[in-house]
Chains A and B, each alone.
Chain A
Amino acid sequence: MRRLLMPGGMILLILAAALAAPVLPLPAPLAMDIMHRLAPPSVAHWLGTDEFGRDELSRLIWGARASLAVAGGSTAIAAAIGTSLGVIGGYLRGLPAFLAIRAMDVVLCFPPLLLAVLIVTLVGPGIVTLIVALSILFLPGFTRLAYAGVLQTRNLDYVEAQRVLGAGRARIMLRTILPNIAGPILVQASLTAAAAVVLEAGLSFLGLGVVPPTPSWGLMVRSAREVMGQAPLLLLWPCLALSLTILALNLLCDRLRDALDPQTAPRRRRRTMAAARPLAGAAATDGDATLLAVDGLTVEIATPRGPIRPVRDVSFSLGAGETLAIVGESGSGKSVTGLALLGLLPGAARVSHGAAVYAGTTDLLRCQEASLRALRGSHLAMVFQDPMSALNPVHRVGDQIAEAILAHARLDAKAVRARVVALLRRVGIPAPVARARAFPHEMSGGMRQRAMIAMAIAAGPRLLIADEPTTALDVTIEAQVLDLLAALQRSEGLGMIFITHSLPVVARIADRVAVMYAGEVLEQGPVAEIFARPLHPYTRALLDSMVPEGDGAEAGLPAGIAGNVPSLLDLPPGCSFAPRCALRRPACETLRLPLNEVAPGRFSRCPYGREIAAMAAPIPAARA
C-alpha cells in the first residue's frame, strides 16, 4: 500500500491544484495582453505568456480542470455502464450477453480516434461531448472485464449457495459478484483515466475537444506548436503537465495491480545460480560404495523479515543401487533438499552450509554452474511432481527427451530418434514412435510421468531424485509408476532419492528412509526397522496416524498429530517437534540435539528413543 502513496499523492496534488485554481493567486487565465505576447518567463509570468499574452502558468493550472473533468467523467460513466452491462450479460447470459459483447466488438472495431471524431462532429465539440465520446470508447474494456469476472465468479460455491438460499438476482449481482470483480475494475479505471487524458489532449489538439478560450493542455500544445519557432518553451509546459499526469495515473495503475495481485509484484532478488557457494563444515568422504554423501546441508532464504532456513543440517548418504526415501509433510524441506543437490534452488534460496559429495569426488554444493550442468542429466537426474507443468507444453515429448540426450552427447538425428523411441518403450509407453510426436497435453497423466521418467534416464544418470513423482496420479497409475521406477532402479543400478509424503509408498519402494520435519532430518534408518520400531516421537506419530492399509490416498497423512508445523520464521529453540510432542520433557524445549546414531544404522534426534520403542499403544495426543 505504501507504494501507492507516490502516484496517489501526485494525482491528489494535480487534483488539488485544479480545484484550487479559482482561489490561487493566479492571473486570470483569459486576460489577454497582446503587447506582451509570447513573453519569456518572468517574475510576473513564471512560465511566460502565450500567443495572446495570457499567463501560461495560470492556463496550465486551469487547463488541468478540463483534463481531469474529462478523465474523471468519462471513466466514471464508462465504468458504471460498462460494468453493469458486463455483470448483467455475464450473469444472465443468453441474449443479453450476446448483445452486450457484440455491441462492444463493434465499438472495438472502430479506430478510437475515428469514433471520437465521428461523435464530436455529430454532436459538436465541448467538454460534455468529449465525456460522452470517451465513455463510449472505454465501455468495451469494462464490459469485457466484468463479463469475464462474472463468468469466473458465478459458479463459485458461495454464489451458488446464495442462489440456493433464494437471494434475488439483483442482490446476488450487487452484493456478491461486484465486490469480487472490483479489483480489476479499479485497475482498469486508472488505466482508462490515463487514456482519457491522452485522448482529450489529442482531440483538443486536433480542434475536436475543448472549446477555446477554456484552457486545455491539448489546445495549448496545438497553439504552442504554431509559435514553436518563436517560443519553444510554450510547447514544453503543457507537454510536461500532460506527461506527468499520465505518468502518475499509469504508475497508480501499475501499483494498484501489484497490490491486488501479489503474483505480479516485482520480485527483487538476486540469483546466485552460478556463484560459488560459501561453505562451512567439512565434506565427509565415505567409502567407495557411497554414491552421494550429504553432510550438514543448510539452505537459507533471505526474506524481508530476516533469513529463514527451510533446510537445516541435513545429512544422509546413499549407495549405488540403493533407494533412500525422504518423507515429511509439505513444508518440511524435503523438496528443497532435492533441488539443492541439483543446484536448482529458486532464486531467493541459497545453500549456506554443508557438502554433498557425489561419487566420492565432486562436492555438488561447491560446483560451478557449468560443471554442475554437465552433471545434470548425465549423472544426476530428477523426476518432478507434476508432469503436466514440468513438461514444456509447446514442444513434442520426443523432442524434449531428445534434448536431454543431446545436452550430453553428440548424435545424429536418426540415432537420437531411435534412442527416444527405445526410452519410451523402456518406460512402458505403447506405440512409442507415435507418442514421441505427441504434445504433453495429448497424453494421460500416467503417460506423461512415464515420459518424464524417460527424460530423466535419457542421458544415463547414476543418481535419480524423484520428487513426489506419483502425487498427481491416481492409485492404479501410481502403483504402475512405482513399479517402473523400482524396475529401472534395479536394472540400471541407480541410486534413488525418493521424496514423498506417503508412508505406504515409502514402504513399497525404499531401502532406507529419512524423516524430515520443519527442515531437519529427525530420524533415519532402514525402512523395515523404522516401520517396526520408530525411535522418534514424530515418526511414531506419523506411523500411528496411518489409516489402516488399503484406504487409498488419505493414507499417510499425519492428520492425527495435534498442533501445527512451526513457522520457519519462529522456530522453537529446542527440538523443533517439541511443541507438538506428547512426550516432551522440559529439556526438549531448550536443548537442540544433533542426529545421533542411536543404534547401528539408526539415527535419531530424540534421546528418548528406547521409551518410544517400548510403547505398544499409540501415543496419546499432546495436550496443547
Chain B
Amino acid sequence: MAWVLRRIGASLLLVWVVVTVVFMAIHLVPGDPAELLLSQGGSAPDPAAVAALRGQLGLDRPLLAQYGSDLVGLLHGDLGLSLQDQSPVAADIAQRLPRTIELLCAASILALGFGVPLGTLAGIAPGGMLDRAGAAVSALLLSVPVFVVGTLLVLVFAEQLGWADAGGFVPIDRSLAGHFAHLAMPALTIALGLGAMLYRITRAAVLDVALRDYVRTARAKGVAPRRILWRHVLRNALSPVVTVFGLQFGALIGGTVLVEYVFNYPGLSGLLVDAVNARDYPLVQGIVLVISVLFVAINLTLDLLYAALDPRVRGR
C-alpha cells in the first residue's frame, strides 16, 4: 500500500511539473489570445479594444499572479474559463474526452480483435504461412503513418468509391447508424497501426512462453492443448501485451491529432491543437492536465494490473 501511495505522490508531482512547464511554454509562445480573438478574418482590431479585452481576461496581470491563480483554481478542481467564449474548460473537456475515449475504445476493440488472436496463432506456429504473411503485413502497417492511412482511406472510400463519409462526427442521439458510420474510418485507421503492434507483441510473447518449461510440464501432465494455450501460454503472455496496449492507449489519448484532423473528428487532441492555435491558455492547460493525469493513471493501473496478472510482482 505504501508503494501505491508513493507512486501516487510521485505521479502528482509529475503532473504538477507538466502543468507548470505547459504554463510557461504556452505563455512564452508568441501570440496573444485577446489580439487573436479580435483579429479574426484578418481584420484590424482597435489597439484600445485589444488592451481592454486583455484586462477583462486578466492577461495584463504579472505572469506569476496568473500562474498562482490558475494553480489555486486547479487545487479547487476548477480548470477556469475558456478565453474565447468564457465557457468552462471542464465542460469543454468533458464534452470532447468521451469522444476520444470512444474512438480509442472502438480502435482498441478492432486492434485487439485481430492483433491478439492472429499474433497467438502466429506465435504457436512460428515460420508458418500466417507467421510469414503476418510479419510482412505488420511491418507494412507499422510503416505507414496514420495520416497517410487516413488520407488514403478517405481517397479510396470517400472520394473514389463514395461508400463512406469523408469524416465528421454525428452525436449518437441524432443518428445511431450515422454515429458509428463516422466512427468507423478513424477507428480503423488507428486500429491498423495499433493492431499490427499488438500482433507483434502477442506473437513474440506467445513464442517466448510456449518454450517455457512450465508449458512442457503441462504437456507432461497430459493437459489438453487448448487448455495449455489458454491457461498456460496466453495467461503468461498477457503481461507484455497488456503493458504495450496500456502504454499505447495512454499515448493515444493526446496523440490522435492527425487522425482527428484527417477525419474532422472532434476529439480532445483536436481541441488541444485548436486551443494552442487560439492561445486559449486555460483550455490548453486544462487539456494537458487531463491528458497527463490520464497518462499517469493508466501507468498506475498498469502496474496494479501487472500485479494482478503476475503474483510474483504482488509481494514487492
Interface residues of A (CB under 8 A from B): 102, 105-106, 109-114, 117-118, 121-122, 194, 198, 201-202, 205-206, 221, 225, 228-229, 232, 235, 239, 242-244, 246-247, 250-251, 254, 264, 266-271, 339, 342, 344, 346, 373-378, 381-382, 384, 386, 389-395, 403-404, 407-408, 439, 441-442, 452, 455-456, 458-459
Contacts and interface: CB of A to CB of B under 8 A. Distances in A.
A198 B30 CA distance: 27
A106 B207 CA distance: 34
A228 B159 contact: yes
B295 A109 contact: yes
B86 interface: no
Given A122-B29, A392-B218, A392-B232, A250 B14 contact: no
Contact of B127 (A113, A198, A264, A266): A266
Cβ-closest 9 pairs across A and B: A111-B254, A377-B222, A268-B127, A376-B222, A247-B143, A246-B143, A392-B214, A389-B213, A404-B221
A202 B147 contact: yes
Given A106-B18, A110-B292, A407-B223, A266 B217 contact: no
Given A384-B217, A392-B232, 14 more contacts: A111-B255, A114-B257, A225-B151, A247-B143, A266-B127, A268-B126, A270-B127, A344-B216, A381-B220, A391-B214, A391-B217, A393-B236, A393-B312, A441-B312
9 contacts: A109-B14, A205-B258, A206-B273, A239-B152, A384-B216, A389-B212, A393-B310, A395-B231, A403-B221
A242 B145 contact: yes
Interface in B218-242: 218-224, 227, 231-232, 235-236
Interface string B274-316: 0010000000000010011001100000000000011110010
A323 B230 CA distance: 36
Contacts of A455: 217, 221
**Most chain A CB within a 10 A radius of its CB, from B127, B148, B273:** B148
Contacts of B213: 384, 386, 389-390
B155 interface: yes
B220 A377 contact: yes
B139 interface: yes
Chain B CB within 10 Å — which of A221, A403, A408, A439 has the most?
A403
A408 B227 CA distance: 13
Contact of A269 (B28, B126, B160, B217): B126
Nearest to A254: B139
B145 A202 contact: yes
B236 A118 contact: no
B64 interface: no
B261 interface: yes
A344 B222 contact: no
Given A106-B17, A254-B139, A267-B127, A111 B258 contact: no
Interface in B137-151: 139-140, 142-148, 151
Contacts of B288: 110, 114
A247 B235 CA distance: 32
A27 B218 CA distance: 67
Interface in B147-181: 147-148, 151-152, 154-155, 159-160
Nearest to A105: B14
B218 A403 contact: yes
B145 A246 contact: yes
A466 to B, nearest CB: 12
Contacts of B236: 392-394
Contact of A206 (B125, B131, B257): B257
B21 interface: yes
A496 B273 CA distance: 71
A455 B220 CA distance: 10
Interface in B103-123: none
Contact of B139 (A118, A247, A267, A342): A247
Contact of B204 (A114, A244, A264): A264
B18 A221 contact: no
Contacts of A266: 126-127, 131, 135
B147 A205 contact: yes
Contacts of A117: 257, 273, 276
A264 B292 CA distance: 34
A461 to B, nearest CB: 10
Contacts of A377: 220-223
A441 B313 CA distance: 10
Given A242-B145, A344-B220, A394-B309, A202 B269 contact: no
Contacts of B144: 239, 242-243, 246
Interface in B37-95: none
Contacts of B312: 393, 439, 441
A504 B171 CA distance: 78
The interface centre, meaning the residue of A102, A390, A392 with most chain B CB atoms within 10 A of its CB, is A392
B265 to A, nearest CB: 15
A456 B217 CA distance: 9
Contacts of B273: 117, 206
Contact of B255 (A106, A112, A442): A112
A459 B218 CA distance: 13
Contacts of B223: 373, 377, 403-404, 407
B222 A112 contact: no
A220 B183 CA distance: 27
B198 to A, nearest CB: 16
A424 to B, nearest CB: 16
B36 interface: no
Identify which of A110, A122, A452 gathers the most chain B CB atoms within 10 Å of its CB: A110
Contacts of A393: 214, 236, 310-312
B29 to A, nearest CB: 5
Contacts of A390: 213-214, 216-217
A320 to B, nearest CB: 20
A225 B166 CA distance: 12
Interface string B93-104: 000000000000
A111 B145 contact: no
A408 B139 CA distance: 43
A106 B14 contact: yes
Interface string B181-213: 000000000000000000000001001000111
Contacts of B151: 221, 225, 228, 235, 239
A346 B219 CA distance: 12
A198 B14 contact: no
Nearest to A199: B145
A403 B231 contact: yes
Contacts of A270: 127
A201 B262 CA distance: 14
A404 B295 contact: no
Contacts of B155: 228, 232, 235
A395 B155 CA distance: 50
Contacts of A109: 14-15, 18, 292, 295-296
Contacts of A395: 231, 235
B25 interface: yes
A205 B155 CA distance: 16
A55 B22 CA distance: 42
Contacts of B148: 201, 221, 239, 242-243
Contacts of A384: 213, 216-217, 220
